[in-house]
Structure 1
Amino acid sequence: MRKLFTSTVFVLSVLGASAVPAAADTIKIGYVDPLSGGAASIGQIGLNQMNFIADAVNKKGGINGEQIEVIGYDNQINPQTSLVQVQKAIDEGVRIIVQGNGSSVGAAIEGFVEKYNRRNPDAHIVYLNYAAIDPAMTNESCSYWHFSFDANTNVKMEALTNFIKQREEIKKVYLIDQDYSFGHAVAESAVSMLKEKRPDIEIVGNEFHPLVKITDFSPYIAKIKASGADTVITGNWGQDFSLLIKAAGQSGLDVNWYTYYAGAAGGPTAIKQANMDGRVFQINEGISNLGYAPAENTAREYGAVYKDAPVLFPRIFNAMTMLFMAIEAAGSQDPAVFIPKLESMDYASFSAGGESFMRKDDHQLFQPLYISAFGPLANDQSFDEEHTGWGWTKVGEISAKDTVIPTTCEMKRPS
């Protein structure tokens, strides 16, 4: 097996041992995500983490003597606006694009980058995707110039439904999702996998709503209550999750929630205010209370800098560290030069050091996944979320090798 790199150690320690004086050149990274509007809190937290990581690396001398510069571009979670911002970034010398919120945005950027590189073979750009998880992006639409650092919708639903199938008390499930490609992918995979694994479960609702436009979810909660559901599965994120939970709490809806992004900005606060102790579960790549010292130390350092927004996205740390390791190993920030290093990398994940690997066939990262429940901190837990006094507790873990699913990607590689 190739060397298994460790994210936190690399960012905060290894570079210090081999640092060289910073050169005039910089490695520009364009962060294209919502920085205004209803999803701004999610986008800003991502930008905070990008800047935190860059600052840590720059203090140690940068990468190959080059300093990291992160530039934020507000895409208002709109595909067309995103492409305008990507072009603006390119015009400003950016060759590394990072985005995560919204698979419709991600698909647009993936297609744009593919076309741009065909037309500009001497000035390639790369798209690092940390959260847009429509399976099409690493299957029929896959691109050599795109890397996915979050488990896709099908991988996460496979894990969630394996957990659900063991809970005999679940009889009636209601699906509610945002009305765009990702939301539909969540619902379709849930219906298919539940039918296979628990055919006795009744799907009593399959609802879609506009993305980041609903301010009052009480009519949707009324439908869920009327359906008799005991469980809700949702891929909602950002304010669409927080406001959904808020409405559920106000109505006294008594169900369990199985989610993808309950831990994102605003979610923990909404859960605590709704007093849903142990009723909300999530599937993701890591939580703070796993007892892994390197990640816990980084979380403390990050929380000391960003006291008002202490939420961590481990996948951003994974993505940035793997990028920097690839650039360092290649001796170049040119995507055409460092991609071969990135696409075949074995890696120790940020959250707990678990073995992860980038699959060369489709540029999908496979990593340990965790199912966790939200509630009051136990005596041995150090990290709460959003200053609520509540935190995530692991209730299930899936190794990277057990998350692997086939891909239909037929990647076109540059000659």
Structure 2
Amino acid sequence: MKFARILAGTALAALALTSPAPAQDASTVKLALIDGQSGPNGFIGESMRQHLQFFAERKNAAGGVLGGRKFDVVAFDNKFDPQETIVQLQKAIDAGARYVFHGNSSAVAGAIVDFLEKHNRRNPDKSVLYINFAALDPVLTNDKCSFWHFRFDADVNIRTAAITNQIQKDPSIKKVYLFNQDYSFGKAVRAAATQMLKDKRPDIQIVGDELIPLQKVTDFTPYIAKIRATGADAVISANWGNDLNQLVKTGGELGLPVKWFTYFANGEGGVTALGAAGVGRVFAVSEWHMNVPEATSEKMAEEFGKKFNRDLFFYRLNTVITMLAQSMDEAKTTDPKAVALKLETMAFKTPLGDTYVRAQDHQFYQPLYVSVMSDDVPKKLEKTPFGFKTVGMSAAKETEVPTTCKMQRP
């Protein structure tokens, strides 16, 4: 789906470009989370909201920003739909939000970027900054890069590089099946995996390339049969939500003997759905996981678990909130343009290692871990006997990928 078409079909978009935004409470800085909060995958949006609130409250308790102003997190339900996103984005702006957080769906991310480019050009005194912490289509920091967009997660190319590095080291893998969702993100994964496998392991045969309708499949049995028929040794899948959990769960129930290289299997619901079938077979790539031995994150994970009765996953949001607050303090204002100019050149040392934003395209770089599901780890997930353990790690500099971004600056 082309991002421009999303906006063209949204009747409220034109009005949104000139709608007035009331001044927000001077004692707070409103952070609008625009993501799915309802439906079968609403638990993901709920988790995002709780993570953002948790880290914002920690920062508030430590003194907030600019001498005491507090972050105020407000969630807007976009129902995982690009058109509904524009409606909710306008509501957020009308409510005084100048900072928008979003994660699920690169199609939604593209709609937000297009909208804010127009809005900020026409309303320079009411500009809005977009913090993307989970939408991974590389186009967002390449041909569609925007001064008003920062991505604080590893994109498709970065994650796929980590995954294919792991596959490269495994001589038992001779045949790979690609299984992804049929939208921009899944297609980007397909392209990246195909090229990187060719470059790193030209002996590997890609025996299948499946794109499924996003969150529409209810029975994965026929797909498991197709994968089995190819003799695949491994499956690369960037599916998320039920499209991932049910796929791998069905494969385990039917005894499909493959390794699953995923982007999100260590996310909420993963180990519960996969069970023992995932042990030693399901891999994930992330900036952190529960069994990374680091005292500060271990304490945060414990606090988060007690507060919300779920496992900490979006560790990166702690880094985002910290860097955003530091940018505001250095800029001595919450004006999005001034803050962006500080944020885009920021290097920040976390307990896990050095991180930084690349000013050229506003892509954030951080250490990455490849982990495998295990029943032999100290920290378990979701009250199961399972968790993830590290099998590979890359420093931030080692994950850099080229960009074609030619950013237009205000």
Q: TM-score surpassing 0.5?
A: yes
Question: Paired residue for 2:56?
Answer: 54
Question: Paired residue for 1:106?
Answer: 109
Question: Paired residue for 1:4?
Answer: none
Write the distance in 2 (CA, Å) between the matches of 1:145 and 1:170.
42
Write the distance in 1 (CA, Å) between the matches of 2:160 and 2:279.
23
Write the distance in 2 (CA, Å) between the matches of 1:133 and 1:299.
24
Cα offset, 1:24, TM superposition: 5.2
Question: Paired residue for 2:334?
Answer: 333
Cα offset, 1:160, TM superposition: 1.3
C-alpha contact (below 8 Å) 1:264/1:311 kept by paired residues: no
Cα offset, 1:287, TM superposition: 1.0
1:245-273 CA deviation, whole Å, 9 max, x = no partner?
A: 1211221111100011111111121122x
C-alpha contact (below 8 Å) 1:311/1:385 kept by paired residues: no
Cα offset, 1:311, TM superposition: 3.5
Write the distance in 2 (CA, Å) between the matches of 1:162 and 1:52.
34
Identify which of 390, 395, 412 aligns with 2:391. Answer: 395
Question: Paired residue for 1:196?
Answer: 199
Write the distance in 2 (CA, Å) between the matches of 1:407 and 1:199.
25
Write the distance in 1 (CA, Å) between the matches of 2:228 and 2:106.
29
1:307-343 CA deviation, whole Å, 9 max, x = no partner?
A: 1x22321122222221111112222111012111111
Write the distance in 2 (CA, Å) between the matches of 1:284 and 1:275.
21
C-alpha contact (below 8 Å) 2:234/2:258 kept by paired residues: yes
Do structure 1's residue 127 and structure 2's residue 144 form an aligned pair?
Answer: no
C-alpha contact (below 8 Å) 1:156/1:283 kept by paired residues: yes
1:76-104 CA deviation, whole Å, 9 max, x = no partner?
A: 11111111110110010001000011111
Question: Paired residue for 1:25?
Answer: 27
C-alpha contact (below 8 Å) 2:106/2:137 kept by paired residues: yes
Question: Paired residue for 2:308?
Answer: 306
Write the distance in 2 (CA, Å) between the matches of 1:317 and 1:113.
25
TM-score (norm 1): 0.90
Identify which of 69, 93, 110 aligns with 1:90. Answer: 93
Amino acid at match of 1:283: V
C-alpha contact (below 8 Å) 1:311/1:386 kept by paired residues: no
Write the distance in 2 (CA, Å) between the matches of 1:348 and 1:33.
29
Q: How does 1:30-49 map to 2 (within 5 A)?
A: 30-49=32-51
Amino acid at match of 2:359: K
Amino acid at match of 1:391: G
Matched residue of 1:206: which SS? strand
C-alpha contact (below 8 Å) 2:233/2:259 kept by paired residues: yes
Identify which of 293, 296, 310 aligns with 1:294. Answer: 296
> Aligned-pair RMSD on alpha carbons?
1.2
Gaps of 5+ in 1: 1-22
Matched residue of 1:38: which SS? coil
Q: How does 1:244-323 map to 2 (within 5 A)?
A: 244-272=247-275, 274-307=276-309, 309-323=310-324
1:9-59 CA deviation, whole Å, 9 max, x = no partner?
A: xxxxxxxxxxxxxx9521000000110112211111110011111222223
Cα offset, 1:227, TM superposition: 1.3
Write the distance in 1 (CA, Å) between the matches of 2:317 and 2:221.
33
TM-score (norm 2): 0.92
1:371-414 CA deviation, whole Å, 9 max, x = no partner?
A: 00011133xx2x21111121110000111111111111001111
Matched residue of 1:122: which SS? helix
C-alpha contact (below 8 Å) 1:377/1:384 kept by paired residues: no
Amino acid at match of 1:367: Q
Matched residue of 2:277: which SS? coil
Quick one: percent identity of the two aligned structures? Answer: 46
Amino acid at match of 2:299: N
C-alpha contact (below 8 Å) 1:42/1:265 kept by paired residues: yes
Write the distance in 2 (CA, Å) between the matches of 1:318 and 1:57.
11
C-alpha contact (below 8 Å) 2:272/2:384 kept by paired residues: yes
C-alpha contact (below 8 Å) 2:353/2:366 kept by paired residues: yes
Question: Paired residue for 1:67?
Answer: 70
Amino acid at match of 2:189: V
Write the distance in 2 (CA, Å) between the matches of 1:74 and 1:314.
22
Matched residue of 2:49: which SS? helix
Write the distance in 2 (CA, Å) between the matches of 1:69 and 1:151.
26
Cα offset, 1:294, TM superposition: 0.8
Amino acid at match of 1:325: Q
Write the distance in 2 (CA, Å) between the matches of 1:289 and 1:277.
15
Q: Between Structure 1 and Structure 2, how many residues are aligned?
A: 385
Write the distance in 2 (CA, Å) between the matches of 1:238 and 1:323.
28
1:221-249 CA deviation, whole Å, 9 max, x = no partner?
A: 11111111111000001111111112112
Q: How does 1:373-388 map to 2 (within 5 A)?
A: 373-378=372-377, 381=378, 383-388=379-384
Amino acid at match of 2:79: Q
Write the distance in 2 (CA, Å) between the matches of 1:270 and 1:106.
28
Question: Paired residue for 1:19?
Answer: none
Do structure 1's residue 81 and structure 2's residue 77 form an aligned pair?
Answer: no
Amino acid at match of 2:307: V
Write the distance in 2 (CA, Å) between the matches of 1:54 and 1:398.
28
Do structure 1's residue 186 and structure 2's residue 189 form an aligned pair?
Answer: yes
Moved more, 134-143 or 46-55: 46-55
